[in-house]
Each structure stands twice: as C-alpha cells, then as structure tokens.
Amino acid sequence: MEFYLDTANLDEIRRLSEYLPIDGITTNPTILAREGKQIHQLLPDLLDLLGPDKIIHTQVLSRDFEGIMEEAQTLATLDENLFIKIPMTKDGLRAIKALCAKGLRITATAIFSASQAFLAGKAGARYVAPYVNRMDNISAEGVHAVADIVSVLRDQGFATKVLAASFSNAQQVIDVIRLGADCVTIPPHVADSLLNHPLTDLCVDKFVTDFEAVFGKGATALTR
C-alpha cells in the first residue's frame, strides 16, 4: 500500500510527514495554482523535503497529443522519481500509449470507469487514478467503481497500480483500501482525520489522571 499526500504545500507536507508514513505526493494543475508555482519551481524544495526515495506525481496541462508528448517528455527529465499524470482523454490515451512505449513513467488520471482503467493499463500506465468523491458527487458510487477497477486490472494480470484519489472523508479512504486499492492520495484535512479520534484522547487523559493520582502530577513512567 502506497500512501500519498495530495498537496504541493510545503508547510503541510513538512507538518504531516513528521508523523505520517508517506510515500510521496501527488499534484495537479489546481493544486499547483494554489501555490502560485510551477512544478519545476517547487521540485527542488519538494525533493529536499521528501528525500530521494519518495515519488512525485505531477500532471501535464496540454490537451492535444503533440502538446502532451512535449510536456511529458520535458517533465520526465526533471527527476527519476517523477511520474507524469495524463488525463484519460482520447489524445491522453494516445500519448500514454506512445510514452509508455518510450519507457516513461505514466499515471493515467481523471479515471471514472473500469473501462478507462482497462485501456490505460493495456497501454502500459504504471498507475491509474480514479476520483472517488467526484464520482460520489454524481451518485456514481466511487468506492464501488474502485472495486471494479481493481478487479478488472487484476483479472487481466496488469501490473498497473490503482491510485485512488479525490477523498472528502476518512471512511472513503478505508473503504477503498479494504477493497484492494494499491495506493491512496489524500488531502491534508482528510489525512489528519485518519489519525485523530476523540476516544484515543479520552483514553490518554484517563491514563495520565490515574497515574498522577498515585505518583503525583507530572510523574512519568520513569518516575521512581
């Protein structure tokens, strides 16, 4: 299971990576626009922050085949751990097929059906990124769609990994993990909610209160 943060905000990545076991980050044009910087401007700081073994998924903006090809090949030269996200349009699939044949590391994104995932896997994409909450927003049952995608790719024996994206809550994340997604990418506010639980806080408070009642306020497990 690969665990990504869906953000390019350096402060959020720094904060969350202190305790979350992340494998890298994912970005898209919207995320980069929020930071006011292009990926090549952010990349040195991201690599310094994440370390050399982490993966970064970043997306092309061009819509036509020639533009996608040019952008993707330029992005691929920036770092060996950079995966190029390409939306699953006709020109996108054409480019995925051509770029995978050249050995580029491609993530097919904006996936909304098992048929799209099948075609991306057949074309050689390393990852497919279905958008869970965006499907839920149109009553398309995003979690079930991820289950179908996982089933189709495994039945075909593809090595393509399912990188589930677009989450609004922790339950969606756990549901797709339970159904076999290989990876998830999570916005910071959902990442926080995966860890936080009020009962954990209550238990810790109770432990401390009971211990201090016997050994005194501020006592620790090492107190003699």
Residues taking part in catalysis: 85
Mention every residue, 6+ apart, whose C-beta is less than 8 A from residue 8.
25, 27, 31, 32, 34, 35, 37, 39, 42, 46
- DSSP letter (8 states) at residue 28: -
The structure tokens 């159904």 sit at 179
Distances (CA, A) of 135 to 55, 209, 211: 26, 46, 49
The structure tokens 């927003």 sit at 137
Measure the CA–CA gap between 68 and 217, rounded to whole angstroms.
63
The number of helices, as runs of H, and strands, as runs of E, in the chain is: 11, 8
DSSP line for 118-183:
HHHHHHT-SEEEEBHHHHHTTT--HHHHHHHHHHHHHHTT---EEEEB--SSHHHHHHHHHTT-SE
- DSSP letter (8 states) at residue 153: H
- Provide the strand spans (E) within 19-81: 24-26, 55-59
Q: What share of the chain is helix, strand, coil (3-state, %, to 5)?
A: 50, 15, 30
